[in-house]
Structure 1
Amino acid sequence: MFLPTTQAEVRERGWQRLDIILVTGDSYIDSPHIGAAVIGRVLSKAGYRVGIIAQPDIRSDSDILRLGSPRLFWGITAGSVDSMVANYTALGKRRQKDDYTPGGENNRRPDRAVIAYANLIRRHAKSTAPIVLGGIEASLRRISHYDFWANCIRRSILFDARADILVYGMGEQTVLALAAALDEQTDWRPLRGLCYIAPQPITDYLMLPAHPTVASDPRAFTQMFHAFYRNNDPVSASGLCQQQDTRWLVQNPPAFPPTTEELDAVYELPYTHAQHPFYETQGSVRALDTIRFALTTHRGCYGECHFCAIAVHQGRRVYGRSEASLIREARRMTAHPQFKGIISDLGGPTANMYGYECARKLEKGACPQKRCLYPKVCPHLPVDHGHLRRLMQKIRRIPGIRKIFVASGLRPDLIFADQKLGDAYLEDLIRHHVSGQLKIAPEHSEPHVLARMGKPAIEACTLFRQRFYQITHAAGLNQFLSYYLMAAYPGCTQKDMQRLRHYTRTKLQAAPEQIQIFTPTPCTYGALMYHTEQDPFDGTPLFVEKDRRKKLRQKEEILPGRAPGKAFRKKARPRKKRS
């Protein structure tokens, strides 16, 4: 049974009023891969009466008032994707498609959706219930941040949205504790994983440079970001305060990750793995084809790539589900009427990070001056593909399952670091779990660009390619590697892209088509470099390509059919002669 999204559904349950109303920029897809559905299910399991309003029309009150007003709070998320990333390309063009919108047309998610929905509630709802922000868009904009689309430093989204509370990170435990505190009318302000507005700073919290200062001084902004990034580990983080105007943003330390048992419970809630019928009448949602029969093994990432927000949102600690829970979910999939024997993905942010973690990190928190995988895999990280390999083997044996694919990206350096089982895992993966192509993300070839990305040296990619095709050919399989590459990253020039092109043609013997132009997402080191045009670690000036045409030219350097030193352009169609 879905959570209610209409008054008729509320009445069918015998309820007079909802405790919590969640507003989301996605269609209502009841899946453990969709944040609003997860939070709704977790709260519902705890006994709260929860409803969901998906993609409300911001031009009227017809949608936002459909469920009345909540007793405890409104919860707002832009959806699974930041609304500005969802709506615009890296070159500023409006996207035509949205995989989370019925019918696939990008016409339902407003720009800066969190702010738009909060203003919609303030404008039309007479309720005094608090407005609580959450999800990726709010999480990455919780402090002063560089906004690529406005090309300026914006203040915390909590202030621009005129909201009351912001839950950052994945949020299940924090939102449960918040709901309980609001229900019992106790003080919610000390809760981990929260941001809120205060008239004064908290005495023992770390003071960040004030918003007006970081908005005008790149060095102060860099100092602020370093302090913010260092204080994202639940074991070692301090609380943070930052003056925004006459008021202060308060960020409590991060919530601790859920235990294995708690994470299992989240993923084993009674999701329907379908789109709510109310929204299904408006059209199908393409994202559901990808996630309906996908298994999430873990959250978090060791990589800390500088262009990626996972470390700030999910954390640098990797925490996973139990083998038993994943097997139970796989068995349930076989009973689904639409299941055809294929699990589309077994993985997480990175597929081969399941089942191991650094003991020091668990005890003392993430190292402040070191990283798990850069410049090379830390010897204290006990890389072990054995747990994942056993899991893959056990799920393969479940009756009714024909194939399990790994669609999440891989880290080749972790495979090579596991001298005991890395190659055995790779052989199992290639022989049984590739859907025709396997994705890896070298991103670039040039050492100085990779260093600014926080990515390992390109030699790991070259060696991985050799081993992949050795195993593939020995097994008599027809499958290949797919490479993700990036153009116009801070520090990358046109000459660097020419050298990358040479590498892909000579070493990879490929003409990759999956090349993205760098988008500076908030609260990443990549965005910091883009804004300040400096290396944040040594202060050296950086070349940053900001001209849209030249960004496109960098991308075109790699595209198939591109001759060295020549711009790639599609041939113009011959014009028809006028009669």
Structure 2
Amino acid sequence: MQANKLSDWLPTTKREVKIRGWEELDVILFSGDAYVDHPSFGPAVIGRILESYGLKVAIVPQPSVHDDLQDFTKLGTPKLFFGVTGGCMDPMVSNYTASKKRRDKDAYTPNGDKGFRPDYATSVYSNILKEKFPDVPVLIGGIEASLRRVTHYDYWSDKLMPTILETSKADMLVYGMGEQPLREVVKLLQKGVPFSSLRTIKQTAFLVHKNESIPKNKNWDDVEIESHEVCLKNKKKFASNFKIIEQESNKLKARRIFQGVNGKTLVINPPYPTMTEKEIDASFDLPYTRLPHPKYNKRGPIPAFEMIKTSINIHRGCFGGCSFCTISAHQGKFIASRSKESILKEVDKVASMPDFKGYLSDIGGPSANMYQMKGKVQSICDKCVAPSCISPVICSNLDTSHKPLTELYQAVDSHPKVKKSFIGSGIRHDMLVPEFNKNADPKELDDYTEEVMTKHVSGRLKVAPEHTSDPVLKLMRKPSFQYFHKFKERFDRINIKKKLKLQLIPYFISNHPACEVEDMANLAAETKNMGFQLEQVQGFTPTPMTVATVIYYSGYHPYTLKPTKTPKSRKEKEEQHRFFFWYKKENRGWIRKTLSKLGRKDLVEALVPEEENNTWKSIKPKKVNNTFDNAIPAHHSRSKKKRKPRKKRR
């Protein structure tokens, strides 16, 4: 049903607080995003979770940092704490392109307007609050805080930065998905435990000063990583930290991590176990209006909301462990799946919205086809330290049955108001290839593929092989490109069998660590030979908490500590990216010259043979959707940047 009362949203102003009859607030949240009361928007989820614990919660979306800072004081002092998040994306990714140019639009702001979110928003907001309210605890969370919880490389300033707890002056950090740690924080605060004593809650981090003792916990083992100061002096030791950080982040029985920073000790408590079905259902079943706050009605639509307003998120987490992606670092590698009942309840709510036209834009998650997948024998998973369950091969203990997902799609489509449900999230095509997914039932994989192709695609199916070079793919933790060939064979067979006219749209990344110019030329030649004229392409953008970013900065692979080359200069990056567009007239001469210098006449003939010159002059290339300059990192766009069918973008 359409929400029509202002009090149906969390209050954002003093007037709205008064409407609810409240004299004071327990928690005030500050967010870098506009306020959209929807389960795909983290600040709304946190607000609703806190509200469900009986707290009086308000949210200040996109507070102004350019005036007298009245947005930070207008709601007064909360009884418990301030909560701060930079938003659903790292603010630097929101604000800048891969070429470090300021973006023209901010998808999480009405009308896409830019300038409403400061760079490094979490630290900016937190510092202001600590200055205005020095005695009130500040708790930070969200993807910016989560991925910057230890010493990390910041691509935009091109330097190593300490834990965000140091730069923000916040009292506590919640990393990952916040429902479980927040439940314990609130429970203890309501019992009268001082905020400063909340030192043994899982999935939180804090700084211990010289004169303080580190809290003891007999149930946890501890590990100390290289200090921030050592990392500044030694890139190899910085790289060595990441193996420990990644493994402990994805273990079910993890160690507590210590790191020295500026005379203090960073303490990162182990994560909670994966959310149960009951826990994740409870989060999605909260009373969201599923709409932007009415204050934005005259400012224009919020692009990120328009992309997902008729989508349904069915699970969290990703066991792919791709080296360029931050999903597992934030959501975990173990899948937390919602129940079919909870999903269908949300479908019914969406279908009851006045403007629903009968089409669901996405039934998916970080990866569309990982729903209800988990270890067959839990005790094996309990001991596992592998960052990926499907690289270099699919774990024999992983249940990759697609049957629950196929049945879910069919249940959604049986809703009387649903004309069609699309799969807008990226599909792991490798898991649909029996030659790679050897423990799966081939018929079950074909049934799923056929279900998707015949009922859930609008002309195009997008998949992400990412590269064609096996050495690059190995570093990416992606399977050999031969499995994309195998998948394309199955795709083409079903296309013919069902008399469809679907297109297969592959995504690729240039200038990734270990990628050489010849690798990009080979990629261009092989995809050209397969009949592709690439559209969905992007340049690698280093973001904190990924293997690829550690390699980009340090030059060492964190697991082997072997030197690994990465394209870093703008010239190198642009040249690699240029191979994607071999079909453009202005690139053909450059490609011939570059490959001739490398002695690769074979690739010249494959990509730009002389006899094709006149032919290609007369061909109008397809529109290229993602250029190097506006590319968005894969991990952000897959999980958050979903668009309506026919306007798909990674």
For the criterion TM > 0.5, the same-fold answer is yes
1:162-201 maps to which residues of 2 (within 5 A)?
Answer: 162-186=169-193, 187-199=197-209, 200-201=213-214
Match of 1:4 in 2: 11
Residues 81 and 139 in structure 2, CA contact (< 8 A), matched pair in contact too: yes
Match of 1:577 in 2: none
Aligned amino acid, residue 64 of structure 1? F
Aligned amino acid, residue 215 of structure 1? L
Residues 234 and 255 in structure 1, CA contact (< 8 A), matched pair in contact too: no
Match of 2:555 in 1: 533
* 3-state SS of 1:240 partner: strand
- Give per-residue Cα distances to partners, 1:217-267, cap 9 Å, x unaligned: 122112211111111135220011111111111000002222101111111
Gaps of 5+ in 2: 1-7, 593-616, 618-650
Match of 2:413 in 1: 396
Shift in Å, 1:340: 0.6
Match of 1:434 in 2: 457
The whole-number CA distance in structure 1 between the counterparts of 2:582 and 2:110 is 33
Using a 3 Å threshold, how does the CA distance of structure 1 residues 38 and 144 change in structure 2: closer, same or farther? same
The whole-number CA distance in structure 2 between the counterparts of 1:269 and 1:496 is 48
1:9-48 maps to which residues of 2 (within 5 A)?
Answer: 9-48=16-55
- Do residues 154 (structure 1) and 177 (structure 2) align? no
- Give per-residue Cα distances to partners, 1:496-555, cap 9 Å, x unaligned: 110000111112x11112211111110110111101212333333222111113212211
- Do residues 559 (structure 1) and 581 (structure 2) align? yes
Bigger mean CA deviation after superposition, 399-408 or 185-194:
185-194
Aligned amino acid, residue 480 of structure 1? Q
Shift in Å, 1:364: 4.5
* 3-state SS of 2:430 partner: helix
- Do residues 457 (structure 1) and 457 (structure 2) align? no
Match of 1:136 in 2: 143
The whole-number CA distance in structure 2 between the counterparts of 1:344 and 1:393 is 15
Aligned amino acid, residue 114 of structure 2? N
The whole-number CA distance in structure 2 between the counterparts of 1:249 and 1:532 is 22
The whole-number CA distance in structure 1 between the counterparts of 2:373 and 2:349 is 26
Bigger relative contact order (CA 8 A; separation at least 6): 2
Match of 2:526 in 1: 503
- Do residues 84 (structure 1) and 106 (structure 2) align? no
Aligned amino acid, residue 503 of structure 1? E
The whole-number CA distance in structure 1 between the counterparts of 2:13 and 2:542 is 38
Using a 3 Å threshold, how does the CA distance of structure 1 residues 343 and 163 change in structure 2: closer, same or farther? same
- Give per-residue Cα distances to partners, 1:177-229, cap 9 Å, x unaligned: 11222232324211101001112545652111111001211221122111111
Q: 1:53 aligns with which of 44, 60, 66?
A: 60
The whole-number CA distance in structure 2 between the counterparts of 1:374 and 1:564 is 36
* 3-state SS of 1:484 partner: strand
The whole-number CA distance in structure 2 between the counterparts of 1:361 and 1:226 is 23
The whole-number CA distance in structure 2 between the counterparts of 1:67 and 1:468 is 56
The whole-number CA distance in structure 1 between the counterparts of 2:381 and 2:424 is 33
- Give per-residue Cα distances to partners, 1:101-147, cap 9 Å, x unaligned: 11112211111111111122223x33622111100000000011111
Q: 2:112 aligns with which of 101, 104, 123?
A: 104
The whole-number CA distance in structure 2 between the counterparts of 1:44 and 1:234 is 30
- Give per-residue Cα distances to partners, 1:441-489, cap 9 Å, x unaligned: 1110001111111111111111112211221232222321222110111
Match of 1:117 in 2: 125
1:448-487 maps to which residues of 2 (within 5 A)?
Answer: 448-487=471-510
Residues 377 and 413 in structure 1, CA contact (< 8 A), matched pair in contact too: no
TM-score (norm 2): 0.85
Aligned amino acid, residue 466 of structure 2? E
The whole-number CA distance in structure 2 between the counterparts of 1:34 and 1:126 is 27
* 3-state SS of 1:153 partner: strand
- The number of equivalent residue pairs is 567
Aligned amino acid, residue 151 of structure 2? S
Q: 1:261 aligns with which of 258, 275, 278?
A: 278
* 3-state SS of 1:566 partner: helix
Bigger mean CA deviation after superposition, 280-289 or 265-274:
280-289
Using a 3 Å threshold, how does the CA distance of structure 1 residues 361 and 116 change in structure 2: closer, same or farther? farther
Shift in Å, 1:495: 1.2
Match of 2:76 in 1: 68
Percent pairwise identity: 37
Shift in Å, 1:361: 4.9
Residues 192 and 254 in structure 1, CA contact (< 8 A), matched pair in contact too: yes
Residues 90 and 519 in structure 1, CA contact (< 8 A), matched pair in contact too: yes
- Do residues 94 (structure 1) and 102 (structure 2) align? yes
* 3-state SS of 1:557 partner: helix
Residues 33 and 108 in structure 2, CA contact (< 8 A), matched pair in contact too: yes
Match of 2:539 in 1: 517
- Do residues 549 (structure 1) and 549 (structure 2) align? no
RMSD over aligned Cα, in angstroms?
1.8
Q: 2:365 aligns with which of 338, 345, 348?
A: 348
1:312-391 maps to which residues of 2 (within 5 A)?
Answer: 312-361=329-378, 364-365=381-382, 367-369=384-386, 371-391=388-408
* 3-state SS of 1:22 partner: strand
Aligned amino acid, residue 566 of structure 1? W
Aligned amino acid, residue 385 of structure 2? P
Bigger mean CA deviation after superposition, 195-204 or 520-529:
195-204
The whole-number CA distance in structure 1 between the counterparts of 2:141 and 2:566 is 32
Using a 3 Å threshold, how does the CA distance of structure 1 residues 302 and 361 change in structure 2: closer, same or farther? farther
The whole-number CA distance in structure 2 between the counterparts of 1:306 and 1:444 is 13
Gaps of 5+ in 1: 572-579
Residues 139 and 170 in structure 2, CA contact (< 8 A), matched pair in contact too: yes
1:205-224 maps to which residues of 2 (within 5 A)?
Answer: 205-224=222-241
Residues 524 and 582 in structure 2, CA contact (< 8 A), matched pair in contact too: no
Shift in Å, 1:561: 2.5
Shift in Å, 1:334: 1.3
Residues 29 and 274 in structure 1, CA contact (< 8 A), matched pair in contact too: yes
Aligned amino acid, residue 392 of structure 2? P
The whole-number CA distance in structure 1 between the counterparts of 2:21 and 2:173 is 31
Aligned amino acid, residue 553 of structure 1? E
Shift in Å, 1:90: 1.2
The whole-number CA distance in structure 2 between the counterparts of 1:137 and 1:174 is 17
Using a 3 Å threshold, how does the CA distance of structure 1 residues 41 and 519 change in structure 2: closer, same or farther? same
Using a 3 Å threshold, how does the CA distance of structure 1 residues 156 and 526 change in structure 2: closer, same or farther? same
Using a 3 Å threshold, how does the CA distance of structure 1 residues 362 and 341 change in structure 2: closer, same or farther? farther
The whole-number CA distance in structure 2 between the counterparts of 1:315 and 1:359 is 18
Aligned amino acid, residue 447 of structure 2? A
Q: 1:494 aligns with which of 517, 521, 533?
A: 517
* 3-state SS of 2:206 partner: strand
Match of 2:599 in 1: none
Using a 3 Å threshold, how does the CA distance of structure 1 residues 452 and 151 change in structure 2: closer, same or farther? same
